[in-house]
Amino acid sequence: MVNAEKSRPGSGLPSTTLTLPSDEPTAAALITAAVEVMATQGYHGTSVRDIAAAAGTSAAILYHHFGSKQELLAILLDRGLDMLVMATEQALDLAGDDPADRLRAIVDAHVRMHLEAQRESMLGNSELRSLDPGSLRVVVAKRDVQQRIFERVVRDGVRRGVFTAPHPEDAARFVTTACTAVATWYRPDGPLVPDEIVRRYQEIALDAVRYHR
């Protein structure tokens, strides 16, 4: 008798943050497979057959759920930014009024997302160039939304005299870039646990905006 778990599409693949509860199971398996294979081989080094094989299904089934490999990539990057923006906005809503607490909160959300979705983050950053122009505009617009959250928090802190950075937008950009980069070096079996990494990046962010303690 064939083990049902082993025969299920996508079984045996590492899970991904980019599937949704509403995804049809085979579509979810294809998304999971696409993250795994593209993160390893790159977008251009990955074929539709590679993704379908990793998901335990066929190229024809992939085309039934997604119009193309390009459409699948766009979904991955689009969902990743939706989740990042949502997590950051929620953290900001709960942070209260103090500018330093607000910056700590959004750094926490941004860093944790990139630690928990390491492959997804690296895929999003490395394969942005592989999107078609229309999809690229959508993804870049969402990335800009995330950046504006940081800029708004830093500018507000400067306006209130809590931060003294002479160039708030540049400081905000430095912080988001640094926080995103944790995905490139973090190792789950390394010496630093996520909570410690978050604390360190919160301090780096406050130093970058010249927090007046």
Mean pLDDT score across all residues of the chain = 93
Q: Is the pTM of this model over 0.95?
A: no
Q: List residues bridging with 211 in a β-sheet.
A: 163
Mean pLDDT for 112-131 is 94
Q: Answer yes or no: is pLDDT of 115 > 90.
A: yes
pLDDT value, residue 4: 46
How far does the chain reach from its first CA to its final CA, in angstroms?
67
pLDDT value, residue 83: 96
pLDDT value, residue 80: 96
pLDDT value, residue 14: 87
Selection from 132, 9, 115 nearest residue 75 by Cα: 132
Across 22-35, b (16+ Cβ under 10 Å) vs e yields: eeeebbbbbbbbbb
Kindly tell me the burial class for residue 143, based on how many C-beta atoms sit within 10 Å of its own C-beta (0-12, 13-18, 19 or more): buried
pLDDT value, residue 2: 43
Mean pLDDT for 155-172 is 97
The answer for residues whose C-beta is within 8 angstroms of residue 188's C-beta and 6 or more apart is none
SS3 211: strand
**DSSP-assigned letters across all residues of 49-114:** HHHHHHHTS-HHHHHHH-S-HHHHHHHHHHHHHHHHHHHHHHHHHTS-S-HHHHHHHHHHHHHHHH
List, for residues 40-70, the tens digit of each pLDDT value. Answer: 999 999 999 999 999 999 999 999 999 999 9
Distance of CA 125 to the CA centre of its chain: 9
Mean pLDDT for 184-208 is 96
Mean pLDDT for 151-173 is 97
Selection from 11, 18, 64 nearest residue 38 by Cα: 18
pLDDT band at 13, cuts 50/70/90?
confident
Domains of the chain: 4-67 (1.10.10.60), 70-208 (1.10.357.10)
Q: Answer yes or no: is pLDDT of 22 > 80.
A: yes
List, for residues 73-102, the tens digit of each pLDDT value. Answer: 999 999 999 999 999 999 999 999 999 999
**CA distances, 165 to each of 79, 131, 151, 152, 159 (Å):** 33, 35, 12, 13, 10
Long-range CB contacts (< 8 A, 24+ apart) of 135-141? 135/70, 135/73, 135/74, 135/77, 135/78, 138/74, 138/78, 139/74, 139/77, 139/78, 139/81
pLDDT value, residue 8: 65
pLDDT band at 212, cuts 50/70/90?
confident
pLDDT band at 12, cuts 50/70/90?
confident
